[in-house]
Structure 1
């Protein structure tokens, strides 16, 4: 029968794995937030440039100005597409890290439960043995009086 000490060692190892998974997940979240912020900034920039472009369209701006703004908008759109791919990759990475963190947390809980059950079994065994010892003492006292 495996001792509780062995399960405590396994539990401490699982907790280290969980802590490492937590660190990895936090790094993935930070990386995702950075890329998402970059995407947000590009979307804001695109919105500002489109507003200027529409203003020049209304104000009958020069063809050169309109062409420049249009080309700039297209360039921003390409950047947005590239960053969206990066955001999706970072989101996928973050979700994988979260799954690993959840799995590690479940493993820690399993071993905590096992240790808890082992302790309660040991206590129950001690109570049973104590009860048996008390019964033996009672029987000896009874039979020693009877003689």
Structure 2
């Protein structure tokens, strides 16, 4: 008689769900990294532009060039603000998937722990049955000796 876990299908399903959530979590991490990298690029570009503008102001700059730079910086700030919102959304999504993955891991671990305990009980029962059969065989042999 071989051991068969009664919740094997559920365990398999939960493991599959956990793997799917893990893939979604990895995708959320990737998306977060992409958006954060874009935000970093825009922040760096703004910083370089401000340094460049400060250098130009030292040497003298026309009013039109100052306005042009300010307009460009304003547009860059809007873009940065947009990407900051995207980073926040991506981080929240990533954290949500992380929590879901932790929950799925806990659930899978519960079923695995149940499986371990069930296997121990099964093995114990098999051992008890084997011992009973050995006892019965011993009694039968003893009785056969007594009859002779």
> How far 1:146 moved relative to its partner?
4.1
Residue equivalent to 2:7: 7
> How far 1:94 moved relative to its partner?
0.6
Residue equivalent to 1:19: 19
Q: SS of 2:96's equivalent?
A: helix
Aligned counterparts of 1:75 and 1:48: Cα–Cα separation in 2: 15
Query: What number of residue pairs does the alignment pair up?
Result: 145
Residue equivalent to 2:49: 49
Aligned counterparts of 2:35 and 2:98: Cα–Cα separation in 1: 18
Q: Note the aligned Cα RMSD (angstroms).
A: 1.8
**Alpha-carbon displacement from aligned partner over 1:20-45 (angstroms, at most 9, x marks no partner):** 10121122112112211110111111
Residue equivalent to 2:64: 64
Aligned counterparts of 1:109 and 1:67: Cα–Cα separation in 2: 62
Aligned counterparts of 2:17 and 2:50: Cα–Cα separation in 1: 49
**Alpha-carbon displacement from aligned partner over 1:21-77 (angstroms, at most 9, x marks no partner):** 012112211211221111011111101110111011111211221222122112211
Residue equivalent to 1:109: 109
Is 1:29 matched up with 2:24? no
Q: SS of 1:87's equivalent?
A: helix
Answer yes or no: is the 8 Å Cα contact 2:5–2:118 preserved in 1. Answer: no
Aligned counterparts of 1:88 and 1:79: Cα–Cα separation in 2: 14
> How far 1:100 moved relative to its partner?
1.1
Q: 1:21 to 1:69 in 2, by over 3 A?
A: same
Aligned counterparts of 2:75 and 2:121: Cα–Cα separation in 1: 69
